[in-house]
């Protein structure tokens, strides 16, 4: 069976510091990978998705970037955090391809920027 | 622009009540609509709906999709305190290389004993 791991679970960082959140998936190959952010308003906003190694699509302009150095690894980064980057970040995976796929989420990373 | 509107935003009921949660959407290249339940952390999958008028059921939860009117409802009968959560509606549209889920802001359900 497939599992998704995301870390760290919580993070408190000062403004201007770098960020790295990591997500890995086990038990499948060539998954689609996604980063979502959930702010206080509860909606999930899609930040990035990837359909393969090195292939990153950005949904909204922002202070963040994503990378996929390996098939089942997805990393969310920032060089300099802003206060507005605070939120709950969720990594998700689905089976590859363009069929109607269910997203399975990791446990999330709560980021507080002070 | 893709849009998802869920109503009500929040709801307080007593155990045993029946609730109906609503989701209307406008999504380019619509493929399916998914419902998720979010308690404290990660959303967990409830249903995926692809065809109009076919009810999906799991225990006390059921859901149906109307692709003509662009909405879906999630029903919960005989609610329990464990049903307290945020319920998220997420239509899926094909854009670029894959399908993408567009999430609504959710309905916060509180079930009181």
- In chain A, what are the domain boundaries? 3-113
Asked whether the beta carbons of B111 and B81 are under 8 A apart, the reply is yes
pLDDT for B96 equals 63
Asked whether the beta carbons of A68 and A60 are under 8 A apart, the reply is no
Report helix, strand or coil for B81.
helix
pLDDT by residue (tens digit) across B6-43? 999 999 999 999 999 999 999 988 889 999 999 988 99
pLDDT for A101 equals 76
**Are the beta carbons of A90 and B108 separated by less than 8 Å?**
no
pLDDT for B99 equals 75
* B110: its two tokens: 């509180």
Its sign, for the CA torsion A61, A49, A87, A114, is negative
Q: How confident is the prediction for chain B on average, in pLDDT?
A: 93
**Are the beta carbons of A36 and B103 separated by less than 8 Å?**
yes
Q: Is the pLDDT of residue B103 over 80?
A: yes
Top residue of B98, B100, B106, B109 to mutate, by most chain A CBs within 10 Å, is B98
For A63-80, what is the mean pLDDT?
95
Task: Quote the CA–CA distance of A40 and B9 in Å, as a whole number.
Answer: 13
Task: Quote the CA–CA distance of A61 and B1 in Å, as a whole number.
Answer: 16
B84 touches chain A (CB under 8 A): no
Please tell me the CATH code under which domain A3-113 is placed. 2.60.40.10
Is domain B3-112 annotated with CATH 2.60.40.10? yes
A14 touches chain B (CB under 8 A): no
**Are the beta carbons of A42 and B34 separated by less than 8 Å?**
no
pLDDT for B95 equals 67
**Are the beta carbons of B88 and A44 separated by less than 8 Å?**
yes
Long-range residue pairs from B49-54, CB within 8 A, at least 24 positions apart, any chain: B50/A100
Q: Is the pLDDT of residue A42 over 80?
A: no
* Chain A residue numbers touching B2 (CB-CB < 8 A): none
* Chain B residue numbers touching A104 (CB-CB < 8 A): 45
Report helix, strand or coil for B86.
strand
Residue of B nearest to A110 (CA): B41
From first CA to last CA, the distance across chain A in angstroms is 39
Its sign, for the CA torsion B64, A32, A8, A83, is negative
């Amino acid at each position: 069976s497939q599992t998704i791991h995301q870390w760290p679970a919580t993070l408190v960082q000062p403004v201007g510091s770098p960020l790295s959140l990591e997500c890995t998936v086990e038990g499948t190959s060539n998954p689609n990978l996604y980063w979502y952010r959930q702010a206080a308003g509860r909606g999930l906003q899609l930040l990035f998705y990837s359909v393969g190694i090195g292939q990153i699509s950005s949904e909204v302009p922002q202070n963040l970037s994503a990378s996929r150095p390996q098939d089942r690894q997805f990393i969310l980064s920032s060089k300099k955090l802003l206060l507005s980057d605070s939120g709950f970040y969720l990594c998700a995976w689905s089976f590859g391809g363009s069929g109607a796929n269910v997203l399975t989420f990791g446990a999330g990373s709560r980021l507080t920027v002070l | 622009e893709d849009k998802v509107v869920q109503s009500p935003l929040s709801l307080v009921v007593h155990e045993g009540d029946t609730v109906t949660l609503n989701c209307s959407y406008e999504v380019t290249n619509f493929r399916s609509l998914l419902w998720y339940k979010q308690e404290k952390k990660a959303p967990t999958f409830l249903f995926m709906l692809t065809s109009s008028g076919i009810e999906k059921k799991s225990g006390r939860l059921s859901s149906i999709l109307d692709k003509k009117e662009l909405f879906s409802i999630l029903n919960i009968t005989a609610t329990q305190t464990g049903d307290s959560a945020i319920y998220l509606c997420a239509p899926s549209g094909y854009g670029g290389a894959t399908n993408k889920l567009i999430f609504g802001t959710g309905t916060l359900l509180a079930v009181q004993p």
